[in-house]
Amino acid sequence: MIRIYIDRVAMLGVITGLLSFSLPFLRIKPSRLAGGTPAGWEESLPGAALFLLVVVWIMIGLLSLVSRGDSRAAFGAGIGANLIILLLFFWAGFQSGILLPEEYTFGRVSLGAGFWVMVLGAYLVILAARKVWSGNNWQTWLLSWSALAGVFILIIGGGLSGISVMEELSIRQNRFRQEFFNHLFISFSAVGIATAVGMPLGIFIYRRKTWERPVFFLTNTMQTVPALALFGLLIGPLAFFSQRFPFLRELGIGGIGWFPAMVALILYALLPILRNTYTSFQVLDEKTVEAGRGMGMNSRQLLFQIQLPLAMPLILTGIRTSLVQTIGNTTLAALIGAGGFGVFVFQGLGQAAHDLILLGVFPVIALALIADKLMQQLTIRLTPRGIIKEERGNEDGWQ
Amino acid sequence: MAGSKVRWVYLLGLVLFFIFILVNPAPLEWFLKVLFPRETVHIYQRIPGTVLVRQHLAMVLISTLIAFGVGFPLGVFVTRRAGRDFLPAVNDLISLAQTFPPIAVLALAVPMLGFGFRPTILALFLYSILPIVRNTVAGLESVPEEVFDAARGMGMNARQRFSQVELPLASRIILAGLRIAVIINIGTATAGSVIGAGGLGVPIVAGLVWNNPALVMGGAIQAALLALIFDQFIGLIDNTFLAKFER
């Protein structure tokens, strides 16, 4: 006897997925700048493909009726949702070449609202399934990553090359590569420098309490100032200095370019690292430090063998916050001529070319997500065995 | 509290200074002339500063209010028994969405709604709902179980427990979320000028386009002041009215 035990989150996903059939799957555009006409599911998909999608959704829906009580049902629903995402990307890529009318020589096909809403619905089902199907095994991996891996292979294999965003990419591949490295370089060096400054500074103000208030006041104020304004505020003095001292100009240091961007990003990235270093030292168990001192450690040994290792998880969380935030803010740096993916975003905004905007936005989001996951793994690896607690998510994401 | 009095004076000073340079740009112009003697224009004149400030405030306040109106009930719902099923999913979605850069959300709103005021409001709303929900949940979850038991023992019903015990104890964390939302919104609204929403970003972007650092700096000073004023103001509200709920 199967007990009905509805997973309401998965059900919400199923409803979202079914509702998305009422929104357009694709948009057919006569040119890259035109708004285009929406194409519904029946007109853009072959009957069999549409039938398969509907069948998979119905199965997910049935499984979700019992999945709260049965982890195998939850697993099945989750795998079905992964399949949905894969099918969506596959058919969008496959049909994009076929659907364009003959007379649209410069025509484009882009993904419609229905596509994205259905992906969201499937993602909700996966989230629900992961809560029920616990355990660290290959099935969990399959639940979390199979759709993503499939889509990645599809992109590499050129299966999506007919989609408008990918066409924008194909005509500026070199520029894309260049801005990718620019973005990485600016973000990572800014966070690297902020770490090199923020950690010692955090330890310093932990030891000299009189400096605590002014340092926190300054860095807090810095965080409050809008990013665009901070870039602007730095242009002034830096342009002034580079006009006065030619050697700075020869180094490429001026009001415009990568240098002011880097300085602004470092100032932004400083606070989370500084605050977490300070807090982690402050919450350290006094007895542990006393024990170290009792063992005859000097302050240097105390720092490197006790305090820093124990503080590491919280410090890394701060670096993680900084990194994610900096990768996003680097987008704005394109406005002051520093390059990075923001170049495409602002070019796209300037030309009202939506797919060019997406070409800038997608990689930034992907980079931020990857950086977040990597830092999470690093934090888990570097947490000393003795203080391992349950993973609590991005605790310090907000100041 | 003495510290609080100093902070009120600081806030008042910031506000007066902000209004002063808004209605009388001469001192700012003089300052920018000293800094950038080569430029011919030092103050953005196409749109008066008061209009830009009004646009900026409208964007920030409307979007934050809607975000609070949606985010706060949502946060309360997922911490009640009826909505607890959704709590893990909401937490996961928020920590995912939190990695999205605000400027990316702003840029993504353009394909949906076009250029101008409305997409900016949508983007600001979408982004600021995250800290509000997150902190509402965190605040309500942080109320210790013993306090509940005590309230129950005093004969309070669920509604009384919520409004007289839970909400006051969570209020500081909820306000902190609102503060983050407002500060992020002021910053992102500055970038909103890129998609034609007006606001204090207009002189900054105009200065960047015309390669005139004086305009950039003038706009940046105003935008930074506005953000500082709001940060101080919310901080003081917390300090004056809610500090008694310190645990």
| Contact between residue B194 and residue B180 where contact means Cβ atoms under 8 Å apart | no
The overall pTM is greater than 0.90: no
Q: How many CB atoms lie within 10 A of CB B58?
A: 16
Give the domain ranges of chain A.
8-163, 173-387
Q: Do B35 and A127 touch (CB under 8 A)?
A: no
Q: Is residue B24 part of a domain?
A: no
Q: Do A349 and B110 touch (CB under 8 A)?
A: yes
Tens of pLDDT along A30-65?
877 777 788 889 888 888 999 999 999 999 999 998
Tens of pLDDT along A85-106?
999 999 998 888 787 777 777 7
Q: Is residue B106 part of a domain?
A: yes
| Contact between residue A64 and residue A6 where contact means Cβ atoms under 8 Å apart | yes
CATH number, span A173-387: 1.10.3720.10
- For residue A253, pLDDT over 70 is answered with no
- For residue A390, pLDDT over 60 is answered with no
> If you count residue pairs, one on A and one on B, with CB atoms under 8 Å apart, how many are there?
156
Please list every residue in chain B whose beta carbon sits closer than 8 Å to the beta carbon of residue A368.
Answer: 99-101
The DSSP code for A183 is H
Distance, in Å, from the CA atom of A343 to the CA atom of A376, rounded to the nearest integer, reads 29
How high is the pLDDT of residue A399?
Answer: 34
Q: Do B195 and A228 touch (CB under 8 A)?
A: no
Q: Which candidate in B53, B99, B128, B215 is best for mutational testing of the A interface (most A CBs within 10 A)?
A: B99
CATH code for the domain in which residue B67 is found: 1.10.3720.10
How high is the pLDDT of residue A388?
Answer: 63
Q: Which of B183, B193, B194 is nearest to B224 (CA)?
A: B183
Phi, psi of A251 (to 5 degrees): -80, -5
Please list every residue in chain A whose beta carbon sits closer than 8 Å to the beta carbon of residue B225.
Answer: none
Q: Is residue B149 part of a domain?
A: yes
Q: What is chain B's mean pLDDT, rounded?
A: 87
According to the per-residue pLDDT averaged within each range, which of A3-7, A28-32, A374-378, B193-197 is highest?
A374-378
Note down the domain range covering B163: 53-245
Q: What share of chain A is helix, strand, coil (3-state, %, to 5)?
A: 75, 5, 20
| Contact between residue B178 and residue A399 where contact means Cβ atoms under 8 Å apart | no
Mean pLDDT across B100-129: 85
- For residue B194, pLDDT over 90 is answered with no
Q: Is residue B32 part of a domain?
A: no
- For residue A286, pLDDT over 90 is answered with no
Tens of pLDDT along A122-162?
999 999 998 888 766 788 888 888 999 999 999 888 888 88
Please list every residue in chain A whose beta carbon sits closer than 8 Å to the beta carbon of residue B190.
Answer: 226-229
Q: Do A235 and B35 touch (CB under 8 A)?
A: no
User: A residues 251-280 near B, CB within 8 Å?
Assistant: 255-256
Q: Is residue B113 part of a domain?
A: yes
Q: Is residue B135 part of a domain?
A: yes
Tens of pLDDT along B127-167?
899 999 999 999 998 888 888 889 889 988 888 989 898 99
Q: Is residue B42 part of a domain?
A: no
* Counted domains in chain B: 1
Tokens of A171: 């005509």
Q: What is chain A's mean pLDDT, rounded?
A: 86
Q: Which of B50, B205, B47, B70 is nearest to B124 (CA)?
A: B70
| Contact between residue A338 and residue A258 where contact means Cβ atoms under 8 Å apart | yes
Q: Is residue B9 part of a domain?
A: no
